[in-house]
Amino acid sequence: MTNAQLAHRIADRCRLTGRFVLRSGRQTTEYFDKYQFEADPVLLDEVGAALAPLVPDGTEVLAGLEMGGIAVVAALGRHTGLPCAFVRKKAKEYGTARLAEGADVEGRRVLVVEDVVTSGGQVVLSTRDLRVLGANVEHALCVIDREEGGEQALADVNLTLHALFRRRDLEA
Ligand SMILES: O=P(O)(O)OC[C@H]1O[C@H](OP(=O)(O)OP(=O)(O)O)[C@H](O)[C@@H]1O
Ligand SMILES: O=C(O)c1cc(=O)[nH]c(=O)[nH]1
């Protein structure tokens, strides 16, 4: 499947119109329900394959963000062979009490993996958490960049955003 065909499939399955409130508190009339592609194992696998060439050279760990980024990172891990970490929004308060589950991130070059980026707020917060844990984070990779300031917000904290699709790719 070409990336253009994949963009059409994702837009068909995920693009909703109506009135929605976003994580950032913004309101929108267009929403991408990422779980519609993440819950389809065949489509998710296509997304993982398409993301793999976008992984920056030197990446040692793929870090998927709770919750939607977890499915995406698992698919990407299958196509790259790289170890994965699953990054919670808040550390568990029992058991191992970890914020980043799975692969160790300390001292390693970590790529943040996310499904949708809007303001960039969640990626910035989780990158800060990963850096506190000792990760070297310079890049983030998402499936959909809504092009609402996320790239600049990431640049402001020395992160480069790579996107498989931009909003305009899903509206074509
Ligand atoms: O760039 P931002 O403005 O931060 O917005 C994007 C964030 O919002 C969505 O997550 P959501 O809060 O829906 O969480 P979920 O993945 O846990 O469902 C998306 O998965 C990003 O994490
Ligand atoms: O910004 C968000 O919260 C958001 C936007 C979007 O299109 N899809 C989504 O799952 N979250």
Summarised one tens digit per residue, pLDDT across range 58-92 is 999 999 999 999 999 999 999 999 999 999 999 99
160 is in an annotated binding site: no
- Give the Å distance between the CA of 57 and the centre of ligand 1: 26
Summarised one tens digit per residue, pLDDT across range 32-52 is 999 999 999 999 999 999 999
* Res 171: pLDDT: 85
- Give the Å distance between the CA of 144 and the centre of ligand 1: 11
Model confidence at 3: pLDDT above 90: yes
92 is in an annotated binding site: yes
Q: How many domains does the chain have?
A: 1
Summarised one tens digit per residue, pLDDT across range 99-138 is 999 999 999 999 999 999 999 999 999 999 999 999 999 9
* Res 172: pLDDT: 65
Range of the domain at 103: 3-171
Amino acid 117 reads: V
In this structure, which residue's CA is closest to atom 22 in ligand 1? 122
Q: Which helix (H) or strand (E) holds 36?
A: helix 35-38
Distance, in Å, from the CA atom of 127 to the CA atom of 53, rounded to the nearest integer, reads 22
Q: What is the CATH number of the domain that holds 159?
A: 3.40.50.2020
In this structure, which residue's CA is closest to atom 1 in ligand 2? 22
88 is in an annotated binding site: yes
